[in-house]
Chain A
Amino acid sequence: MRYGMVIDLRKCAGCYSCMAACKAENFTPRGVFFTRVLVDEIGKYPNARMRFVPVLCNHCENPACVSVCPTGATSQRKDGVVTIDPKKCMGCRYCIVACPYRVRFFIDKRGTYYDTPTTYEVFGFQARDYQEGTVIKCDFCAHRLEKGLEPACVVTCLSRARYFGDLDNPESEVSQLIAANGGHQLLADKGTNPSVYYIR
């Protein structure tokens, strides 16, 4: 069992609904985005066009963040999901430096979007155990996985560009998409073997 995601870049419209859904689901503090949509321009005028590339934690098979973590706060579950235990993290930020994908965030101060926290943010503080002075990141919505649900970004995607499933199961939708279209991994040369694949 190894959870993974396939993102079909041909379908991504750059609507940012995955980012909004992630924020709503995970109550991430100000400036923290577990998933982002990178905007790129490819080609040259008159054939230039925008390209949208959603990125998130790759939940690598050989995660650099896990091996460098001195406290064992970052660990990998049996299903491949890389998680952080906020009670163990001492905030050395070695994992942030080691991760080639820059998808980890250090919470120095728990910032809010306005001078006073909104009701939603207050609820988020209670719902999520984000501690100041620690590192946080995407965990494939582990709390949803436990209930048999897919990550929030996957179910929200309007153009159905994101697929989620078991990479070890050749019959799964993600495995078949990779087999049929050839999945590309980000910075594959780093030897991390990401579990997020892209179809171009």
Chain B
Amino acid sequence: MAYAKSTIDRFAVGFDRQKEWIERRGILLLIAFYLGGVGGGLYLASLIIGWKAGIPIALGIVFIGKGSAHLLFLGRPLRFWRAFLRPQSSWISRGIYILLVFTIMGLLYYLFYGNTTLEILSALFAFGLIIYTGFALAASPGIAFWSNPLIPIIFASAALTSGIALAEASHAIRPETVILYTDRLEILGLIMGTAMVVLLFTFLVANYMSTVAAKASVAYLAWGSMSLAFWIGVILLGIVIPLAIVVPAYFGEVARGWLAVAGISELCGSFVLRYSLLKAGIYPPVILTDGCVPTCLCYELV
């Protein structure tokens, strides 16, 4: 009888990746995190650049896209209402409240466009939406790579960058899109792109100098079996290509088509970034032995 490899590996001592939130149906959770980030980021970006039509798009992405991905991920979707019961301790509960209040506030702001109170309140909940996923990951003590204070900031920054990228791509593809402050797009893109470089570098270095499991996560991403996705997806698509287009655009003129490329490239990179962060969640061995030397990748990740 053939047994799954994961079953057999449960009896070995060593590092182990988290699989529940990334493999098989776990992909739906990645999609939910991604759509929540893109939607929340787009909402904030729409407020900053004055793009009214961006608001309903953002709300749709969050409420329909993120909401349904979360529901489909659950083993018992009909019991989702129970997640409202524990906001005092669980980030999933808090996230559901944030999602719901954000959608209502955003809808009200769209209906009463220009109302400052609603604008501030909806912006606060949009910020909550893009940062809570990071806190949800950070609440897992078993995974040192996630239990890092920088992870909520990285999630929030990546979300805002994605929102800007989506607005930029939409504007480049459809020039008739009414955006009041188009000049802010390039500045925001430049600032967030640079911030992502600094944040990611700091996050990886801080983790590498941390525990053995966190070091193993960095090794897995930077030169392990996830390195191709990390360097091509996160670094090249998510940072290098968008910055290579946005920097000249800021200092001069760049064809609209290139701005669309920058936006789409960043959106892809942002997806791979979340994929990589979830995939690199590595548990330490429950028993540390002399054989565990993560620096040389002599362990086998399953």
Q: Could you list which residues of chain A lie within 8 angstroms of chain B, going by C-beta atoms? A: 31, 33, 36-42, 53, 55, 64, 66-73, 88-94, 96-102, 106-108, 113, 131-135, 186-187, 190-192
Residue pair A70, B3 in contact (C-beta under 8 Å): no
> A190 to chain B: which residues have CB within 8 Å?
141-142
Q: Could you list which residues of chain B lie within 8 angstroms of chain A, going by C-beta atoms? A: 1, 3-4, 7, 10-13, 16, 18, 20-21, 24-26, 73-77, 79-80, 82-83, 85-86, 89-93, 96, 136, 139-143, 281, 283-284, 286-287, 289-291
Between A and B, 12 residue pairs with Cβ closer than 8 Å are A36-B11, A39-B11, A70-B85, A70-B92, A90-B75, A90-B80, A92-B83, A98-B140, A99-B142, A100-B142, A135-B75, A190-B142
Across the A-B interface, give the 3 residue pairs with the lowest CB-CB distance, nearest first: A91-B75, A133-B75, A100-B142
Residue pair B86, A72 in contact (C-beta under 8 Å): yes
Residue pair B140, A68 in contact (C-beta under 8 Å): yes
Q: When A38-B13, A68-B89, A70-B93 are in contact, do A134 and B286 touch as well, CB less than 8 Å? A: no
A24-B65 Cα distance, complex, nearest whole Å: 44
Known: A53-B286, A68-B92, A187-B284. 16 other contacts (CB 8 A): A36-B10, A36-B11, A38-B13, A39-B13, A55-B286, A66-B89, A68-B89, A70-B83, A70-B90, A90-B77, A91-B76, A92-B73, A93-B26, A106-B75, A190-B141, A191-B141
Q: Is the interface of A mostly helix, strand, loop or mixed?
A: loop
Residue pair B82, A40 in contact (C-beta under 8 Å): no
Could you say which of B7, B24, B92, B142 has the most chain A C-beta atoms within 10 Å of its C-beta?
A: B142
Could you say which of B74, B93, B136, B140 has the most chain A C-beta atoms within 10 Å of its C-beta?
A: B140
How many inter-chain contacts with C-beta < 8 Å in the A-B complex?
A: 137
Residue pair B287, A53 in contact (C-beta under 8 Å): yes
Residue pair B1, A113 in contact (C-beta under 8 Å): yes
A66-B89 Cα distance, complex, nearest whole Å: 9
- Taking the closest CB of chain A, its distance from the CB of B237, in whole angstroms, is 27
